[in-house]
Chain A
């Protein structure tokens, strides 16, 4: 398998240019789907290769449960720097899987706690209006049925404080935005990129890119439902202005790049985003998309190659 087993660990770098450029050149729907797909494939391949390295590394450890033949020099010869890489891969994979498990559990916990909190309200109440002066509005994703627990449909939860600050039309835009989140299942894309970022930190920039693209996507859906982009922009802007201000942190000293809300409002006040799924080839975005596609394909092929090669080597080394 040679160097192929290492490639998927660094190939996520090829997705970074398109993560940066997609926002301006693609429809948010296409951006969300493309970046989520890239993150999922790159994350899976990266984890698979880490797993292969762990097998080689574990076989070298004293008292491991793997067949003795797996620590033969022929197996180690299949991986460059087998001693260092194999042993280093063990804590890396353990850390990646631990962080992933934590993120997954937290996802489920927050979802369950929110549903429990809303249980007191009538089940049909959608949106669920909470008598709270603090302005907020959330889309609570559906919970699938489990043994002993029925499925719960997704809900929109909005506080009275938020409703009070918007007029009727703006409220319609708000509800359309949150329902779009639920209908398009944005939480799945968000969870996928979150897990991808957990298994390979190089994929972290895709997380914020997808989070922003999902918001933009819901904005565009809302604008279509209410039939007015400027109205939607106003709803987003007013809601943001009544929301508690972010705690002043280090961000103040960073370059004053506009945050997500001004960018969303500016995009809604601007022209309708192009409906295309792929940027024109001979533009920076087009090239970035090609690089990302090539990188992802290379990552998948490398992972496959490494997996097959290691399987063959281990099979040969296993005494029958």
Chain B
């Protein structure tokens, strides 16, 4: 990662006090770009997992140098710092000052990191439904009432005791204004065509 400048980190490897919060965000927003750029980002996704896994194996809060040692020699110190601050921006790790260096503690495990990444995809791609088929789509207020009516009616049909989970899904009062009663018995009619 020759393109990341960290002027405040001495070459000896003591992390500077201002360990690059800003640079973590630098490469966040830009998507698209060349194939090499994409390959690099994918590599960083895997590196994030590795760094997080290394922190989990640490006996306590660890320094970036410790993480670098743990991951083997082929990673530059600045790369480790970049990834740690990126993880920090995602709230997957916490850090505190210890002398002149930061020590890092994992806040999320690998699954947690995956969840954070997944949330970024879901929040960042409003038009994802054609690719990722969701189990359910969001309800409008009207749909919600309609749905509760349907489920309540089903629960009533099964007569309570026969259906243990029936009452659990009807936490709301069933006596709300039933929308268009009697219209939704059959799928043919529910369409309202």
Contacts of A248 in B (CB 8 A): 140-141
Asked whether, in the complex, the Cβ of B131 is within 8 Å of the Cβ of A240, the reply is: no
Known A-B contacts A131-B112, A258-B190, A261-B147; A114 and B138 likewise in contact (beta carbons under 8 Å): no
Asked whether, in the complex, the Cβ of B110 is within 8 Å of the Cβ of A240, the reply is: no
Q: Name the prevailing secondary structure of the A interface residues.
A: helix
Of the stretches B18-26, B62-70, B97-105, B179-187, the one at the interface is B179-187
Interface residues on B, range: 35 or more
The complex places the Cα of A247 from the Cα of B139 at a distance, in Å, of: 9
The complex places the Cα of A130 from the Cα of B187 at a distance, in Å, of: 34
Asked whether, in the complex, the Cβ of A120 is within 8 Å of the Cβ of B113, the reply is: yes
Tally of A interface residues using CB under 8 Å? 81
In the complex, the chain A residue whose C-beta lies closest to that of B31 is: A109
CB of A89 closer than 8 Å to a CB of B = no
The complex places the Cα of A81 from the Cα of B140 at a distance, in Å, of: 47
The complex places the Cα of A132 from the Cα of B91 at a distance, in Å, of: 14
B106 to chain A, nearest CB (A): 13
In the complex, the chain B residue whose C-beta lies closest to that of A230 is: B154
Asked whether, in the complex, the Cβ of A116 is within 8 Å of the Cβ of B117, the reply is: yes
Contacts of A240 in B (CB 8 A): 136-137, 139, 143, 147
The complex places the Cα of A255 from the Cα of B142 at a distance, in Å, of: 11
Contacts between the two chains (Cβ within 8 Å), count: 210
CB of B129 closer than 8 Å to a CB of A = yes
The complex places the Cα of A218 from the Cα of B137 at a distance, in Å, of: 14
The complex places the Cα of A117 from the Cα of B117 at a distance, in Å, of: 5
In the complex, the chain A residue whose C-beta lies closest to that of B183 is: A258
Q: Can you pick out 13 interface pairs between chain A and chain B where the beta carbons lie within 8 Å of each other?
A: A21-B193, A110-B128, A120-B52, A120-B110, A233-B154, A236-B136, A237-B169, A241-B139, A241-B147, A259-B142, A261-B136, A266-B184, A266-B187
By a beta-carbon cutoff of 8 Å, the part of chain B in contact with chain A is: 31, 42, 45-46, 48-49, 52, 108-115, 117-122, 125, 127-144, 146-148, 150-151, 154, 158, 165, 168-169, 179, 184-188, 190-193
